[in-house]
Amino acid sequence: MAQGDQQALELLYDRHVRLVHSVAYGVVQNREAAEEVTLDVFSRAWASAASYDHGQAQVRTWLSRMARNRAIDWLRREKVRPSLHSVTWAEVGHEPQAETIAPEQAAQARVEQEQVRQALATLPPEQQEALALAFFQGYSHSEVAAALAQPLGTVKGRIRAALKSLRTLLADAQERS
């Protein structure tokens, strides 16, 4: 791509567009803005391909970092001030397929999903963000650390604390129901 190979850009786009869009959407919380940011990221990736250093970061990390930064820039430009580290948990889990499970099981699954959503919403924003990147975006702990510009130990601690809190909150919710 650094030599202007358009097929390389197409391949990069095909492999990473969902990741870039997810990161952008996680920050801006607006589909149109996330699409704008996504296009900007790939445009900048094309323009700065020659300066990409394979030894410094994986392509996935480089693009994620760029997406996060471009999305934050978009928020600043638009003067939108939601929490930059908030995570929308509305899509945690998937709705069970009605034809594959019994209605009672589907109802129980929905109750459990709602308990998880509520528990996730109580976590501090920095724990929510680290957890979302690690579990819902599939990042390794190192990639989360790079994407958030935080030390690896800090990221691991946040994820560990989030999981511990979730276990406690969900156990309490289970006892109440």
The answer on 70 and 23 residing in a single domain is yes
Would the pLDDT of 98 be above 50? no
* Gap between the Cα atoms of 85 and 66, Å rounded: 16
Q: In this structure, what CATH number is given to the domain that contains residue 167?
A: 1.10.10.10
Residue 1 in domain: no
User: Which among 50, 172, 62, 66 has a CA at the least distance from the CA of 118?
Assistant: 172
170 confidence band (pLDDT: 50, 70, 90): confident
Residue 71 and residue 132 share a domain:
no
Residue finishing a domain among 78, 93, 112: 78
Average pLDDT over residues 42-68: 84
Looking up residue 40, the CATH number of its domain turns out to be: 1.10.1740.10
Phi, psi dihedral angles at 123 (to 5 degrees): -70, 150
pLDDT digits (tens, 9 = 90+) for 102-159: 777 777 777 777 877 788 889 898 898 888 888 777 778 887 888 888 899 999 999 9
Helix (H) or strand (E) holding 63: helix 59-78
Q: Hey, what amino acid is at 169?
A: L
More confident residue, 18 or 50: 18
Judgement on whether residues 67 and 119 belong to the same structural domain of the protein: no
- C-alpha span between 71 and 68 (Å, rounded): 5
In a domain, 64, yes or no: yes
Q: Does 84 reside within a domain? A: no
- Domain of residue 163, residue span: 103-176
Residue 32 lies in a domain: yes
Claim to verify: residue 70 and residue 127 sit in the same structural domain: no
- Full-model pTM: 0.46
Residue 95 lies in a domain: no
72 and 114 in one domain? no
Task: Indicate whether 94 belongs to any domain.
Answer: no
Residue 86 belongs to a domain:
no
Torsion of CA 57, 27, 23, 58, to 10 degrees: 0
Residue 74 and residue 109 in one domain? no
132 secondary structure, DSSP code: I
Out of 61, 78, 95, a domain closes at 78
* Percent of the chain residues topping a pLDDT of 90: 19
Across the chain, what does the average pLDDT equal? 79
For residues 10 and 74, membership in a common domain is answered with yes
Helix axes of 6-28 and 59-78: crossing angle, nearest 10 degrees: 50
Q: Domain count for the chain, please give it.
A: 2
Q: Are residues 74 and 108 in the same domain?
A: no
Q: Stretch 86-94: mean pLDDT, rounded?
A: 48
What pLDDT was estimated at residue 36? 93
Same domain, yes or no, for 168 and 128? yes
Average pLDDT over residues 169-175: 81
